[in-house]
Structure 1
Amino acid sequence: MSYENLAGRTAVVTGAASGIGEAVAVTLAAEGARVALLARRAERLDAVVEKIVADGGQALAVVADITDDASVEAAVARIHEAYGTVDLVVNNAGVMIPNPIEQAPVDEWQAMIDTNLTGVLRITGAFAGDLGEAAARGGSADLVNISSVAAHLTGFPGFAVYGATKAAVTHLSALLRGEFSPRGVRVTNVEPGVTQTEIASRLDAEGQEAIGGLVEAFGALSPYELADVVAYVASRPAQVNLRQVMVLPTRQV
């Protein structure tokens, strides 16, 4: 599907080295956007950028850690130098580490909070001025946060802290509309259901078994199906804001 309204825009996508982030970056670039890809894995980022450029798109690999202020500041400076003002920000980077609460793995809780919530805040704050400037010029300006249905759904033992971070992102997205919408900036919160991503491969055997059970029961979305949703919401006319989108495999309830 083609979304002509994305041509000429400048996007930042976090967690762009794989999974949903990679798919979003590739999709936006295919629609004519210039895309800055942020992630920690330089080799993987370079491979994705090479793929985009080979297909005729424009992309910039920016190695950055969204949990680190200095790293984000350096990334913002590089993006501004290369592309100027950003008008589309996709907060996708995330960490999922399931554990029973009684194990009290504080370091793992902190890792999820730092990436899934504070990282979103850090990137949003870094580009808030850009988004406002883009909207003031009369163009479209979008903040798209990738949350999760785990923000709402219960019944997944061990995922309480992950779900809590995603619930915070969902609520944050709703509240940010109060700050951004009067300036003409759209905020969209996307909550994927079961999705085929690399994140599950990083889990321990018990965690992979839990995710595998969900895939077997419900099926799974592909990253490019989620990317299509992001492209769709960002390509609507400037006065149209799809503020909340939950995307599930058809069999998931």
Structure 2
Amino acid sequence: MTYDLNNRTAVVTGAASGIGAEIALVLARSGAKVALLARRAERLAELAAKIEAEGGRALAVSADVTGDLTPAVEAVHAAFGRVDLVVNNAGVMLANPITAGRDDEWRRMIDTNVTGLLTVTRAFTDDLVGAGRDGVADLVNISSVGAHGTFPTYAVYAATKAAVTHLSANLRTEFGPLGVRVTNVEPGLVTSELGDHMDNPEVDAHLAAWREQVPPLHPADIGDVIGFVTSRPKHVNLRQLVVLPTVQV
């Protein structure tokens, strides 16, 4: 589906694949100019070309949310001007027992899932506040149902997503009065590359078996939700959404 997002300017992190790419497609097809942020420049260029071939406007910006975003922000402003819609989608899921002591994985998840989200939010805060004063502004954070559950071997990942969910609720107390809507989205099982970077065969097998039992959502299902959320009238803020496959409990 498409929505009315004409004259909106969006930034989507983690846009090189999966949920991020589908969010970008929905926003662009709905009329928004979309800046695509991720590390994989070639994938971003392909997605930008696809959007433009469909008549949309997109900018591929190779950037790491854990690093200095100044050049990325400058590129977005030069191409599209002020941003009024930010989707913090970049994330990584690495699962191992705590007893494995994988502090390398812990740091990577915290740096990307939590600190990266804060870095992107800070980078576009002035844009969002200005847009909220003049019209509509949205900050959308992609969390996970893992924020509320207990999952062996996924403890640190779940903790980072719990942080995203709680952070989103608190950010709304600051941004809401400034006219910026804050939405936290918690997907359940979704087909994506999120689990492709894990290096534990036992955990991989468990995830594969779970996907056999619970047919996952398609990333486009999440993209559709984001299109709906951000196209609501200015006075409507959908604060928290949990999006699950029907059979997932």
- Partners of 2:240 and 2:178 lie apart in 1 by 19
- Partners of 2:34 and 2:2 lie apart in 1 by 17
Match of 2:189 in 1: 194
2:225 aligned to 225, 229, 232, which one?
229
2:123 aligned to 106, 110, 126, which one?
126
2:108 aligned to 105, 111, 115, which one?
111
- Partners of 1:202 and 1:118 lie apart in 2 by 20
**Following superposition of structure 1 onto structure 2, how do residues 142-161 of structure 1 map, counting pairs within 5 Å?**
142-154=138-150, 156-161=151-156
1:241 aligned to 222, 232, 237, which one?
237
Match of 2:19 in 1: 20
Q: Does 1:98 align with 2:106?
A: no
Unpaired stretches in structure 1, ≥5 consecutive residues: none
Q: Give secondary structure in 1 for the equivalent of 2:141.
A: strand
1:82 aligned to 70, 79, 82, which one?
79
- Partners of 2:125 and 2:102 lie apart in 1 by 33
Q: Does 1:162 align with 2:135?
A: no
Query: What is the percent sequence identity of the aligned residues?
Result: 59
Aligned length: 248
Question: Over aligned residues, Cα RMSD in angstroms?
Answer: 0.8
TM-score, normalised on structure 2?
Answer: 0.98
Q: Give secondary structure in 1 for the equivalent of 2:124.
A: helix
Q: Give secondary structure in 2 for the equivalent of 1:196.
A: coil
Q: Give secondary structure in 2 for the equivalent of 1:143.
A: strand
Equivalent residue letter for 2:165:
T
Question: By how many angstroms is 1:206 displaced?
Answer: 2.5
Q: Does 1:3 align with 2:3?
A: yes
Q: Does 1:218 align with 2:217?
A: no
Unpaired stretches in structure 2, ≥5 consecutive residues: none
Match of 2:33 in 1: 34
- Partners of 1:94 and 1:2 lie apart in 2 by 25
Equivalent residue letter for 1:163:
A
Listed one character per residue, the Cα deviations across residues 198-226 of structure 1 (whole Å, up to 9, x for unaligned) are 12222233332122122112210100000
Contact 1:200 1:207 in 2 (8 A): no
Match of 1:46 in 2: 45
Question: By how many angstroms is 1:251 displaced?
Answer: 0.5
Q: Which runs of 4+ in 1 moved over 6 A?
A: none
Listed one character per residue, the Cα deviations across residues 121-163 of structure 1 (whole Å, up to 9, x for unaligned) are 00001111101100111x2100000000000012x21100000
- Partners of 2:125 and 2:210 lie apart in 1 by 37
Contact 1:194 1:214 in 2 (8 A): no
Contact 1:135 1:183 in 2 (8 A): yes
Listed one character per residue, the Cα deviations across residues 53-106 of structure 1 (whole Å, up to 9, x for unaligned) are 1111100000000001x2x11101111111110000000000100010011111
Contact 2:98 2:153 in 1 (8 A): yes
